[in-house]
Every structure is written in structure tokens, then in C-alpha cells.
Amino acid sequence: GARCLIEHLNDPLDPDLGIVNGASWYEVTGGMQDWNYVFGHCFEVTVEMNCVKFPKAKELYGFWEDHKFALIHYISLTHQGIHGFIFDEQTGRGVLNVTISVGNGPLVVYSYKYGDYWRILLPGTYNVTFACDNYYPQQHTVIIPEQGRTLSFNITMRPHSYQVEHRKMHKASNVANIIGLSSSLIIASGLTQGVLKRVF
């Protein structure tokens, strides 16, 4: 339908189709988007679907019908990226507060109580670092192809207190638990391939 009764926004040839980045209108410092990004380690998005800020209640269902498929598809994009669990190699328990950082980007996410984590990523190649106090850090190269869907990527972190004699118990084939290895993880719909190589 018409977009705010503004003629140039109703032009079907308009490449933006009436969509505008809110920062082009005005900037807000210290809003919920900032708080969630910095402290909640997540994104908050405001979607304005109508030109009237407080529409009548009887109109709300129509807005839902107009936008529900686009909104559901948008929500489904949160499943793109990398997620999984981080375990303590010695105890097998989840590791809390592991930082998951991508390249030199400012956004850092943390693992939760049971070691679960989630990091949204667009298609591309990324260096992902897992780090936590009292554990040896790990870095993995993650390749997410176009139209890729996230698949579970679980890792095991070795604590600094790990006894040397226990290392002999791990087979060389268990490369996911060996420090000093870098993995290349290809994430695709229904397919995960791990390619590991030494990077000493």
C-alpha cells in the first residue's frame, strides 16, 4: 500500500522501496539498542510498519497480516552463523563466560551457564577466538557459505591446571581437543566438514 502518503516513497522503481535507516533521520545515544549491543551482547531492531505512531486497535491485525511473513523470515535469519557448547576438557561441564570474538570486531558474546553460545554471522570467512580465564584460548577459521544455515560447533577447552599425564590419554585423532590447532569449519545446510591443520 501507500507509504506514508509521500509520493516519492510510493515509486515502485525506488531501490529502497521506502525503507530508510533510522540514523538518517536522527541519532539516539544511550538507547536500548546501545545497551543491548554493549551489555546484552545482542542486537535490538526497531521496525516501524506504519506512518501513524499510535494506530487504532482495530488496525493492528491488518498490520500483522501485511508484515507477518517478512517478519518471520527476518527472525529466521537469527539461525545463520555459529553456535554450540563449550566444555571443560577435564570435567566435561559447560564453561561459563567464554568470550567469543570474531576477528578484530568490537562485538564480543559470552557463553552461558551450560557453555552454550550463539554468534550471528553473515556468509563469509571469519577467524573466531574462544578465550576464558584459566583456559588455553582457541582460534578457528569459520567459513559460512551463501544461504548457509548454522550448525552446531562444539569445542572443548583445556584448563591451565590440566595434568601432563592426562594428555597421553587422548588419541592424536581427537584433534578438536589439541591445543595449537586451527580448524576450518564449513557450515552448509545439512553438511559440516572440518579441516584441521597445525599452525605452530
Per-residue pLDDT tens for 167-198?
555 544 444 443 333 444 444 333 333 333 32
Instruction: Give me the CATH topology for the region 80-198.
Output: Immunoglobulin-like (2.60.40)
Active site residues: 48
**5-25 per-position pLDDT tens digit:** 566 655 666 666 666 677 777
Backbone angles phi, psi at 188, to 5 degrees: -145, 165
Averaged pLDDT score across all residues of the chain:
76
Domain borders along the chain are 7-77, 80-198
3-state secondary structure of 116: strand
The answer to whether 152 and 142 are in contact (CB under 8 A) is: no
Exposure string for 65-85, b = 16+ CB within 10 A, e = fewer:
eeeeeeeeeeeeeeebbbbbb
Backbone angles phi, psi at 138, to 5 degrees: -135, 145
Distance of CA 14 to the CA centre of its chain: 31
Backbone angles phi, psi at 156, to 5 degrees: -120, 125
How high is the pLDDT of residue 140? 94
How high is the pLDDT of residue 169? 53
